[in-house]
Amino acid sequence: MSPLPYYLCLMMPLAFFIGLYSGGVWTALAPILGFVLIPLADFFVGRDRDNLSPEQEDQVRNKFSYRLITLLWVPIQLAVVLVGAFVVSTASYSGLEMFGLIVSAGVVTGGIGITIAHELCHRQTKLEQWASQLVLLGANYMHFHIEHVVGHHQKVSTPEDPASARFGQSLYSFLPQTIIGSWQSVWAFEKKRVRVKKLPVWKNRLYWYLFIQTAFSLSLGLLFTWQAFWFHLAQSFVGLVFLEIVNYIEHYGLERKKLPNGRYEKVTPKHSWNANHTVSNLLLFKLQRHSDHHANPLRRYQILRDYPEAPQLPFGYPTMVLMALVPPIWRFVMDERVLSYNMAEEEASTA
């Protein structure tokens, strides 16, 4: 009932700054925290499958204290990008140290930052909408602000959604599909929006996103050095890859049925993988209660619920990300789980 545990996310930018100023092995502190210590904490703390009561939901639903940490992330994200760009342009790092810093920054801007932008893009206040776009600027992925809501949420768990992984599809097949396909999807949406509303061409938001991102990235090179420019592009790429790996995990092998009228069945909790691991859910603002998020996209993170009927991941997202990077391990862990769940659903629907 307190927002304080969600401030756990602040350890990631802190880890990046420690690595930035300490060098050496410390440059990899953020991914070590995210992909070693958090999974260990999940293992020892266990899962939390409790849901708030209706009365408790009413108490916290609109509390600004829960919103505050997501809004505070805007200056934090920009500080990571700007300070990181400045320091790498003035200090001398080895190739391994620079790699560690790029991955660490990507964990912050993509792993945590885009997670927060994801929460904010579903909110209806102008402040949160703007905050979402500013956070995504730090990862050069501003089109996600549109595509996630009007594309992914409409087409999730169908062959039409580039951000939903098919059964048996490897991560390395999925990544170009989702990165390129999501861009094509939002481009088609914006072109149609401008045409239908009879707006001038420059009202296409993708033009503005591309201009802002390019201007921001080039400014880092002009203000500091071109090493800062390339550092920003590299960490942005790492960040967006982390996001898309999570997309791969969230809907792998789950499909909505096509109805006789040509439409797909309604999105329900059975179309997203859930993970109730306590610590990683705090770090990721309950993103792992993904079934409720898709069934009820306007629900704020603090009141997302667990559904017993939703498919369950064996581990939290940080561990599943590492597994996804090694397709044989991923398929060994997940394929039988997908088949068993889909078979149980089919039997239940025909009973």
What is the average pLDDT value for the chain, to the nearest integer? Answer: 95
The answer to whether 270 and 243 have CB atoms below 8 angstroms apart is: no
Burial 159-191 (b: 16+ CB within 10 A, else e): eebbbbbeeebebeebbebbbebbbebbeebbe
pLDDT tens-digit series, residues 43-78? 999 999 999 999 999 999 999 999 999 999 999 999
What percentage of the chain carries pLDDT values higher than 70? 99
Give dist(CA 272, CA 246) in Å, integer: 12
What are the pLDDT digits (tens) for 4-53? 999 999 999 999 999 999 999 999 999 999 999 999 999 999 999 999 99
- Nearest in space to 81 (alpha carbons), one of 122, 135, 27: 135
Least Cα distance to 318 among 30, 18, 120 occurs for 30
- Domain positions in the chain are 4-153+162-350
- The pLDDT tens digits for 158-170 are 999 999 999 999 9
**pLDDT value of position 49:** 92
pLDDT at position 346, please?
79
pLDDT higher than 90, residue 185: yes
Q: Which residue has the higher pLDDT, 183 or 347?
A: 183
Q: Which two tokens stand for residue 58?
A: 């009413």
Neighbouring C-beta atoms of residue 316, cutoff 10 Å? 24
Backbone angles phi, psi at 36, to 5 degrees: -125, -60
Q: Are 225 and 93 in contact (CB under 8 A)?
A: no
CB-based contact 134:213 (threshold 8 Å): no
The CA–CA distances, whole Å, from 329 to 172, 253, 325, 332 equal 14, 16, 9, 5
Does the pTM surpass 0.85? The reply is: yes
Place of tokens 């094509």: 184
For residues 288 and 286, give the distance between their C-alpha atoms in angstroms, rounded to a whole number: 5
Each residue's pLDDT tens digit, 303-343: 999 998 899 999 999 999 999 999 999 999 999 999 999 88
- pLDDT of 1 higher than 80: no
